[in-house]
Amino acid sequence: MKKPLFSGAIPRILIVDDDEVIRVVLRQFLESEHYAVEEVDNGSDALEYVRGKQFDLVILDIAMPGIDGPSVCEHISTSLVNPPPVLMVTALDDEDTIDRSFNAGAVDYIRKPIRWPVLKNRIRYILGSHRAKLELELLSKNYEMILDAAANGICGVNIQGNISYINPVGLGMLGYTLEEVTGKSYKDIFYLSSPGKDDFNMESCPFFSDRTLQETTYFNEIRILKKDGSSFPADFRSTPIIQSNRLVGGVLIFEDITERQEAAELIRYMANHDALTHLPNRNYFKRRLPQAISLAQRQRRKLCLLFIDLDRFKPINDTYGHGIGDMVLIQVANRLRSTLRASDSVCRLGGDEFVILLESTDTFEGASHVAQKAIDLLNEPIDVNAHVCYIGASVGISVYPDDCADAEAMLRHADIAMYEAKKNGRNCWAFYSSTEKSTKKAAN
């Protein structure tokens, strides 16, 4: 079981002295000051005691037979995890021995004959300092445990710009080991690139070059270079540490936002694409059509829109069920996709309605050719789970700027032309005409 940092409310003191009279006098004095006291008369027993029990102070005679005081002190300070402070007591005025005691780890010394008021205050000071030191170490350890468990990368930089701390998450993100970064300049570890660039020359700690900066600097959606040369997207915060109006270091906090960006991209994709066919959906089309019209206006060319409504699709759903109907729609989407050039686009508006936006074709002949090709493809049988389905399509065509001035009118006119094709017997295409005399062509 782990020992407590302090042995109860009453500090425990160990007296180590080969002079029995000194031990008795010291015990009486210390107990009168309400300390718990134990005593031994040699260095060997002292080492056994401090290994087996918890003490808050060791009062140790310098000159003893066997293992002398400085040797005992050195053993205590180097062999214990939380060694108690050692107060040396000596009747000698030997500078070398006193120096040796301090080098061995003693925190102070007092001469014989002992001046009791001096000893009383020395002990209070030593115990208070030791308690504060252990509490600070415990607090620092708790903070470090919290930082180690943090989900973000956290790095501490000292006034020289060298890395003094980095948590395991940060090491994992960057691909380094602790030994590779500790004591290194932050400039040799943190290479940042602004969004859309790959130069990785951003200053991650601007407060070192501009001492007027005393607030956190935020770098959103930047990229951080890893040890292996790859990079990852991150949100990065750089905060100066100011004490007594002086810069003494900084804290860097960074978060890998790969999953967040992927999730955002997925949300954007789902918002703009049909879940069944993966074609762009109505939301996408409502934004894309005005953009295409604006571009066609600047370039002074025509823009053609095909509105496609499937023929004989409802009987498939009624006869075979919606599962088969969905699989038919997927094949329809694939066939329509195959008719287009890279600059054109096909969207599913919903149900069995599709549109094709032709940006590479600005002639009536070109639009009618694509419409006829789409009809021919959709006239071919669709085999789904041993069910052979026959559908067709009616296509309405509107042309900017010939018969419309904006996106809303263009879609409405293509829809009207599609119904005109339905009236003409289906499985054909028709251009919109305001005089209701559409140019039509039946499918062969």
Domain identity same for 310 and 335: yes
- Domain range for 251 is 153-256
Residue where a domain stops, chosen among 129, 146, 163 = 146
In-domain check, residue 310: yes
Looking at 31-35, 134-138, 253-257, which range is the least confident one? Answer: 134-138
Q: What is the pLDDT of residue 133?
A: 77
Residue 302 main-chain phi, psi, to 5 deg: -85, 160
352 is annotated as an active-site residue: yes
Report whether pLDDT(59) > 90.
Answer: yes
Residue 349 sits in a domain whose CATH number is 3.30.70.270
pTM, two decimals, is: 0.59
The answer on 167 and 49 residing in a single domain is: no
DSSP 401-427: TTS-SSHHHHHHHHHHHHHHHHHTTSS
Average pLDDT over residues 235-244: 91
Single residue among 205, 221, 256 that ends a domain in this structure: 256
Query: Are residues 424 and 281 part of one domain?
Result: yes
pLDDT tens for residues 72-116?
Answer: 999 998 888 889 999 998 887 777 877 888 898 999 988 888 889
Number of domains in the chain: 3
The verdict on 177 and 286 lying in the same domain is no
Same domain, 286 and 344: yes
Distance of CA 376 to the CA centre of its chain: 52
Q: How far apart are CA 157 and CA 170, in angstroms?
A: 13
**224: nearest Cα among 251, 260, 184, 197:** 197
Tokens linked to 323: 């599962």
Is residue 1 one of the residues assigned to a domain?
no
| Alpha-carbon span 88 to 10, nearest angstrom | 21
SS3 content of the chain, % helix, strand, coil (to 5): 40, 25, 30
Residues 417, 291, single domain; the answer is yes
pLDDT greater at residue 227 or residue 343: 227
313 & 413 share domain: yes
Q: Which CATH number do you get for residue 157?
A: 3.30.450.20
User: In terms of C-beta density within 10 A (0-12 exposed, 13-18 middle, 19 or more buried), how is residue 420 classed?
Assistant: buried
Report pLDDT digits (tens) over 293-308.
Answer: 999 999 999 999 999 9
The answer to whether the beta carbons of residues 356 and 303 sit under 8 Å apart is no
For residues 282 and 335, what is the distance between their CA atoms, to the nearest angstrom? 19
Note whether residue 267 is domain-resident: no
Say which of 17, 61, 352, 403 is annotated catalytic.
352
Q: Give yes or no: residues 22 and 129 share one domain.
A: yes
In a shared domain, residues 434 and 286: yes
